[in-house]
Structure 1
């Protein structure tokens, strides 16, 4: 099979690392890819949002299957365009991808279909939003309605912080049009985790749970990011919790989308909080999570290509998992998630039997591999348990201890139950 992977980040690099293990693969292309992906696939200089260009490339190069990583092309209708041309694509249509594309739509959808989530209100006027915060108090959660690269969520510990967040999103339009409408939610207390599933219409096949660390700094301090580290499996998320979440969240979402005339094919991601009153949804994504994918896929024993082919054909892929743990730590540019420099030379870092490197914001130049984004790469460690997996990952990260250009959290994989 000839496979095209759309995207340029760590998630896409991780997917490609596992696709290339399949005997079914003849050639892998990435559009546009990154410095690390170049080692495993043929990168083509087509932007993720150039849907017409991607369709043309897929037809000209006889692509048998396209897999889409990032959310923006999904919400722009890339799956619809490919299907119109008779091209196989593992991705949801625009009508289904709105589950991630609009926080307001997602909340209404969850209420309609009985999916547990936090109470909320939606606002298009800053003054009314601030009055709601005044009435509800803090802590409280402010979310941009539209796509904001994983950074449009502010957990406000005080009313003043909430007011600043409202101004940032609605008045200053920090994320362009994504914050013209905002959702304000109750603050949920509990243990956060992610559950991702392969989905085709009514069929739902969950992966193992993972836990992402979103705050920039140790002890869950600092601003929210796209994710600073992650681990899987999650010891305090039991098989019973996974079964409940699959039934009451993922299956209800798939069935609800079918009922609403928005059939879903692709990856459905649920960001969740395990509260004292049960599992509740924080958000849905309609694609592989980043960085969760980077630690979940290394524990998958199946041929990833065969899994996707089976799911699209309506067959149970019979997922099996290694009896191991995986910890991934993100190396980020100093200043992320705010202003940071690009073009900084990266220390050499090779994979070993117990570790791996997934590149995200990197670029190959004449002087070597340089940084080209906020989250630069992820170093993963595998082990018989979380402690050994953490040890392997952090041993490899020591090469970054003598640089002022990058930083990473030192507490990824530490469970606090």
Structure 2
């Protein structure tokens, strides 16, 4: 009996290889054998699917999960995932009560955050788990300069009261994707000085963490107690300029079916603005994906695709729902044939190829793939389809 093709009837889909993801987590754990590993699954696991990816990462040995926003953390807890979990972006009025009640670790970069967490913990009769963030030079989140010792003093008082427990101290690199950049070691030194100051005032964090994907792969001195790889668990290199794939396997493959194939004469303008005109009579194919699905509009005339054995680039403007490919004078594709935008197979374009073509990073290419693109998960214990709504 023939197996049912889960892509039958789909115009577009993203295949998510959970076996590859688990392999990547194990590979990264081996890179930092003395450290625990936090799998960063923010932004719907970089577009790969929050819950299936989180479960796969935990199966592969991730002892922690990390997300940016409270809603992501709540979704993980409410789905029954009990792994230690950190969320780090909050504003006044955030649902600290929901986070503390769900045993979610919280980050604090300012005293207002500490007191908001503490007030919730008092009301619930619980001790909230807090990670203090220090700005060691990124110039983004974290307590900077003299704000750091002030944050420590307030944290010590609240910990003495029993309403918070400072379980972590952390920071983030500015140039970890540039292995030789001098700021990497400077930030690392500043971080450990900040930790020493925290210990001097009586705080004893369980975990110190600063290594993102790049630092996990190329800066062993930054591994500390916990590493926080994000893009690397999805099989994409955070340091593409380094000639090493680090034994990472791309997890997402993006495909579609051709909606139309037709002949056009030389000189016929293609798509909005006629920014592409074939030089000879040719065949063109219509691909039902566009910028509403996350295809960069600046992939116009440069986005790479593969149709059968033929590799080409987008011809003309990327539209909201579709784009065109020039198949060449001898093009033999037909409606319904599969086109691969990026993947991991031989001669398939990669997410990094798309990043290079559109002057961005692979993180953006995969994480921007929209919700109306169904995800098909393969491997592990997940084998299901998340349907999108076709417009």
- TM-score w.r.t. length of structure 1: 0.27
User: Greater strand share, 1 or 2?
Assistant: 1
- TM-score w.r.t. length of structure 2: 0.28
